[in-house]
């Protein structure tokens, strides 16, 4: 799990606990049936909206996205430059020997196509199509979290309505009204927490991670096609560097200047 997620969760939970204990009555915030209505209802709406396959897929994609070792764009550029230099020195077929060292599946497959002598347009089309389809799959995961983020508060409100309707119908004991209203509000509270602390941020993060992965893959497409076209490695490096922010570019220059050994620079 990446650090920001962890820090954010800790701060968020601390804030809620502070708010709960500050009022001196933390037990007021616990109610199993409230949790059932809010969480169960929100989940039910989302399950109806998607298929079981989508959820199975989500369970596979989620851990990957959160555990993935971040792909360094610096090392990717360096690797592509090295491959480009090698291809110009020894020919495209020489790239075959590098394939085992490359860990990125997408780059590996693209180089295979290059070594096989497939035409550039077909390589671009095929890689772009794969990118588009990956983006659609990611979009479905994001869409599930967005649906959850909308349904949890809605079911929180439904739970509060349930509580209020019950409460107002039978106001026999006025001393219980306060406690009953308090209980009715707990579902709205659960719905807001589930949406704002889990679903909205996760949906945003998945979107960001997906965008990031697409950009890395676009760099790979640019780089591989440039290698195949036998372009000057420096021109390619210049173009790939435009994907970096000014700060990243300085870091990259520093890394290159640091003369890091060839072995250490392998894309990880």
Q: Find the binding residues for a second copy in span 21-50 (CB under 8 A).
A: 22-25, 28-29, 33, 36-37, 40-41, 43-50
Identify which of 219, 249, 255 has the alpha carbon closest to the alpha carbon of residue 83.
219
CB 145 within 8 A of CB 202: yes
Minimum Å distance from CB 263 to a second copy?
26
Q: Which residues within the stretch 144-183 sit at the binding site for a second copy (CB under 8 A)? A: 147, 150-151, 154-155, 157-159, 161-171, 178-179, 181-182
- Residues 78, 232: Cα–Cα separation, whole Å: 14
Reduced to 3 states (helix: H, G, I; strand: E, B; else coil), residue 267 is coil
Give how far Cα 71 sits from Cα of 56, 100, 105, 131, 219, Å: 26, 18, 12, 17, 12
Query: Applying CB under 8 A, which of residues 63, 68, 96, 133 lies at the interface with a second copy?
Result: 133
User: Between 93 and 229, whose beta carbon lies closer to a second copy?
Assistant: 229
- The CA-CA-CA angle for residues 264, 68, 135, to 5°, reads 115
* Residues of span 217-236 touching a second copy by CB under 8 A: 235
Tokens 């550039």 label which residue? 120
Applying CB under 8 A, which of residues 75, 86, 88, 239 lies at the interface with a second copy? Answer: 239
Fill in the per-residue mask, 64 to 93: x = in contact with a second copy (CB under 8 A), - = not in contact. ------------------------------
Should residue 204 be labelled a site residue for a second copy when binding is judged by CB under 8 A? yes
**CA-closest candidate to residue 177, choices 120, 85, 21, 169:** 169
Per rule CB under 8 A, is residue 62 in the interface with a second copy? no
| Cα–Cα distance measured from residue 234 to residue 236, given in angstroms and rounded to the nearest whole number | 5
Q: Interface with a second copy includes 185 (CB under 8 A)?
A: yes
Distance CA 74, CA 251 (A): 8
Task: Please report whether residue 202 would count as binding a second copy according to CB under 8 A.
Answer: yes
């Amino acid at each position: 799990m990446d650090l920001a997620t962890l820090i954010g969760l800790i701060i968020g939970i601390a804030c809620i606990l502070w708010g709960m204990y500050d009022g001196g009555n933390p037990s007021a915030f616990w109610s199993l049936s409230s949790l059932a209505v809010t969480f169960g209802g929100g989940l039910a709406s989302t399950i109806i909206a998607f298929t079981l396959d989508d959820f199975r897929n989500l369970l596979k994609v989620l851990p990957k996205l959160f555990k993935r070792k971040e792909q360094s764009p610096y090392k990717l550029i360096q690797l592509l430059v090295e491959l480009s230099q090698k291809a110009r020195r020894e020919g495209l077929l020489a790239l075959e020997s590098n394939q085992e060292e490359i860990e990125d599946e997408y780059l590996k497959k693209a180089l295979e196509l290059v070594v096989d002598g497939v035409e550039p347009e077909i390589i671009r089309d095929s890689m772009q199509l794969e990118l588009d389809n990956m983006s659609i799959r990611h979009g479905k995961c994001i869409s599930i979290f967005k649906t959850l983020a909308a349904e949890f508060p809605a079911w929180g409100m439904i739970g509060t309505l349930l509580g209020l309707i019950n409460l107002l119908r039978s106001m026999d004991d006025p001393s219980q009204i306060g406690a009953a209203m308090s209980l009715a509000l707990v579902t709205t509270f659960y719905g807001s927490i589930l949406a704002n602390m889990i679903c909205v941020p996760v949906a945003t993060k998945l979107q960001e991670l997906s965008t990031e992965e697409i950009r890395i893959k676009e760099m790979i497409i640019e780089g591989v096609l440039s290698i195949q076209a036998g372009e000057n490695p420096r021109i390619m490096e210049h173009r790939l560097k435009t994907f970096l922010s000014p700060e990243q570019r300085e870091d990259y220059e520093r890394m290159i200047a640091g003369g890091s050994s060839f072995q250490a620079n392998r894309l990880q």
